[in-house]
Amino acid sequence: MKREEILDWLKEESDEKLGALWSRADAVRAEQVGSEVHLRGLIEVSNHCVRRCAYCGINADNTRIQRYRMTEDEIMACVRKAVAFGYGTVILQAGEDYSISTAFVSRVIRRIKSETQLAVSLGLGERPAKELTAWRKAGADRYFLRFETSDPSLYERVHPSLPRRRSDRLATLRKLKELGYEAGSGVMLGIPGQTYASLADDLDLFKALDLDMVGVGPYIRHPDTPLGREEKSHKLLAGRNQVPNTELMTYKFVALARLLCPGVNIPTTSALASLNRETGYELGLSRGSNVIMPNLTPSQYRVLYEIYPAKAMASDSPEEFQARLSKRLKAMGRSIGKGPGGRKKC
Beta strands in 193-322 (DSSP E): 213-218, 267-268, 291-292
Name 242's bridge partners. 195
Q: Could you tell me the smallest distance in angstroms from the CB atom of residue 284 to ligand 5AD?
A: 15
Nearer to ligand 5AD, 191 or 336 (CB): 191
Nearer to ligand 5AD, 39 or 56 (CB): 56
Nearer to ligand 5AD, 28 or 272 (CB): 272
Give how far Cα 235 sits from Cα of 53, 191, 198, 318, Å: 18, 9, 16, 37
Q: Could you tell me the smallest distance in angstroms from the CB atom of residue 312 to ligand 5AD?
A: 11
The helix/strand/coil state of 122 is strand
The helix/strand/coil state of 144 is strand
Using CB under 6 A, list all residues that contact ligand 5AD. Answer: 55-56, 146, 148, 188, 217, 219-220, 222, 271, 307-308
Nearer to ligand 5AD, 43 or 56 (CB): 56
Q: Could you tell me the smallest distance in angstroms from the CB atom of residue 194 to ligand 5AD?
A: 12
Q: Could you tell me the smallest distance in angstroms from the CB atom of residue 74 to ligand 5AD?
A: 20
H-helix or E-strand spanning residue 37: strand 36-46
H-helix or E-strand spanning residue 90: strand 89-94
Nearer to ligand 5AD, 135 or 147 (CB): 147
The 10 Å CB-count burial string (b at 16+, else e) for 79-118 is bebbbebebbbbbbbbbbbeebebeebbebbebbbeebeb
Give how far Cα 171 sits from Cα of 31, 112, 177, 331, Å: 32, 28, 10, 42
Nearer to ligand 5AD, 146 or 174 (CB): 146
Q: Could you tell me the smallest distance in angstroms from the CB atom of residue 309 to ligand 5AD?
A: 8
- Angle formed at CA 170 by CA 189 and CA 106, multiple of 5 degrees: 105
How many CB atoms within 10 Å of residue 166?
12
Which one-letter amino acid corresponds to residue 85?
F
Pairing between β-strand 142-144 and β-strand 89-94 as defined by DSSP bridges? unpaired
Task: Compute φ and ψ for 187, nearest 5 degrees.
Answer: -140, 165
Q: Could you tell me the smallest distance in angstroms from the CB atom of residue 273 to ligand 5AD?
A: 12
Q: Could you tell me the smallest distance in angstroms from the CB atom of residue 136 to ligand 5AD?
A: 21
Q: Could you tell me the smallest distance in angstroms from the CB atom of residue 222 to ligand 5AD?
A: 5
Beta strands in 279-320 (DSSP E): 291-292
Nearer to ligand 5AD, 188 or 238 (CB): 188
Nearer to ligand 5AD, 148 or 212 (CB): 148
H-helix or E-strand spanning residue 336: strand 335-336
Which one-letter amino acid corresponds to residue 115?
E
